[in-house]
Amino acid sequence: MSEKSYQNIIVEKADGITWVTLNRPEKRNAMSPQLHYDMDDALAELAVDEETKVLVLTGAGAAFSAGQDLQLYFRDTAHDPAERRRSNEAAHSWFYQRLTTFPKPTIAMVNGYCFGGGLTPVCACDFAIAAEDALFGLSEINWGILPGGYVSWQIANVMSFRDAMHYAVSGETFDGKKAAELRFVTFAVPREELRQATIDYARMLMAKNPAAVRFTKEAIRAVKGMPAAQALDYLRAKGDALKGADDEDGRAQGMSQFLDEKSYRPGLGPYQRRRAKKD
């Protein structure tokens, strides 16, 4: 895929990692309608892009995202129902549907301020790595609205009931370190280590069988809320589907490397990935 240029985001690719950067630093990456259109388009293309093995979402400058753009997203579309609807649909499409169904692992690299609607893509990504001094907040309450869109729903899913209630109703901020304690992010690191820690995590993911990673992340999302018997049935069918979808035949390779070659320990790390069966 040729790299496309966008007005409000930057897409860069290196060594299997595709970095998507929300790029309105002068507005703390507040999300304008154009940013939503850019993201919706980019994620649709990157989902089927062979170079993209892991997707990292981050923000330019001091912020990850200061949430919806109060001027461009709210005020300017207040009397333009068509544009309000279009931008609303694009927003919900990329920061929920496209991210949660993205076929490769997704990491939110939270580099700074993350408020309101900015929390949605963090929740939607498979993993989140934050700078310890990043600052999160459900600030909606501070200007008299509730966390709408998917925000309240996602917060209630990702956080404990007590934490979701507390942070949504008080609007109190929490930093990256606290976000890791709350299990709102996967882990937090000092700011100067953020990029390298994200690259290391992405490389760890890329060392695994890609079909197994995809099917596992889909399964973890799908079984949440299913009754046990339904989950068992779903996982049986999903496991069978994985065998058909796995070009590397990872199961056979892993078994053979452990049982015959005795060359690795599956409990301690991935098998040696070899040439795909169908090139």
Query: In the complex, what is the shortest distance from the CB of residue 159 to ligand ACO, in angstroms, rounded to a whole number?
Result: 17
139 scored as a contact of ligand ACO (CB under 6 A):
yes
67 scored as a contact of ligand ACO (CB under 6 A):
yes
Q: Which residue, 184 or 215, has its beta carbon nearer to ligand ACO?
A: 184
Query: In the complex, what is the shortest distance from the CB of residue 210 to ligand ACO, in angstroms, rounded to a whole number?
Result: 34
Instruction: Tell me which DSSP letter residue 65 carries.
Output: E
Q: Which residue, 174 or 215, has its beta carbon nearer to ligand ACO?
A: 174
Nearest 5°: the CA angle 42, 21, 156 is 85
Q: Which residue, 105 or 117, has its beta carbon nearer to ligand ACO?
A: 117
Calpha distance 157→180 (Å, rounded):
16
140 scored as a contact of ligand ACO (CB under 6 A):
yes
117 scored as a contact of ligand ACO (CB under 6 A):
yes
Q: Which residue, 139 or 198, has its beta carbon nearer to ligand ACO?
A: 139
Which of these ranges, 114-122, 206-214, 253-261, 268-276, lies near ligand ACO under the rule CB under 6 A? 114-122
Strand order through the sheet with 113-115: 63-65, 113-115, 135-137, 174-175
Single out the residue of 20, 22, 30, 211 in contact with ligand ACO (rule: CB under 6 A).
30
104 scored as a contact of ligand ACO (CB under 6 A):
no
List C-alpha distances in Å: 249 to 37, 237, 255.
Answer: 38, 17, 10
CA terminus-to-terminus distance, the chain = 18
List C-alpha distances in Å: 12 to 34, 131, 209.
Answer: 19, 21, 24
Instruction: Tell me which DSSP letter residue 31 carries.
Output: B
Calpha distance 24→141 (Å, rounded):
24
71 scored as a contact of ligand ACO (CB under 6 A):
yes
The residues facing 137 across adjacent strands are 115
Which of these ranges, 4-12, 24-32, 38-46, 48-56, lies near ligand ACO under the rule CB under 6 A? 24-32
Calpha distance 161→178 (Å, rounded):
16
Query: In the complex, what is the shortest distance from the CB of residue 29 to ligand ACO, in angstroms, rounded to a whole number?
Result: 8
Q: Which residue, 126 or 140, has its beta carbon nearer to ligand ACO?
A: 140
Calpha distance 243→241 (Å, rounded):
5
Q: Which residue, 37 or 113, has its beta carbon nearer to ligand ACO?
A: 113
176 scored as a contact of ligand ACO (CB under 6 A):
no
Q: Which two tokens stand for residue 199?
A: 């690259």
Which of these ranges, 14-22, 26-34, 48-56, 124-132, lies near ligand ACO under the rule CB under 6 A? 26-34
Calpha distance 99→107 (Å, rounded):
10
* Residue 55 C-beta-side C-alpha neighbours within 13 Å: 30
134 scored as a contact of ligand ACO (CB under 6 A):
no
Q: Which amino acid is at 37?
A: Y
> How many residues does this entry show for the chain?
279
Size of the site for ligand ACO (CB under 6 A): 17
Q: Which residue, 135 or 205, has its beta carbon nearer to ligand ACO?
A: 135
Footprint of ligand ACO on this chain (CB under 6 A)? 27-28, 30, 62-63, 66-71, 113, 115-117, 139-140
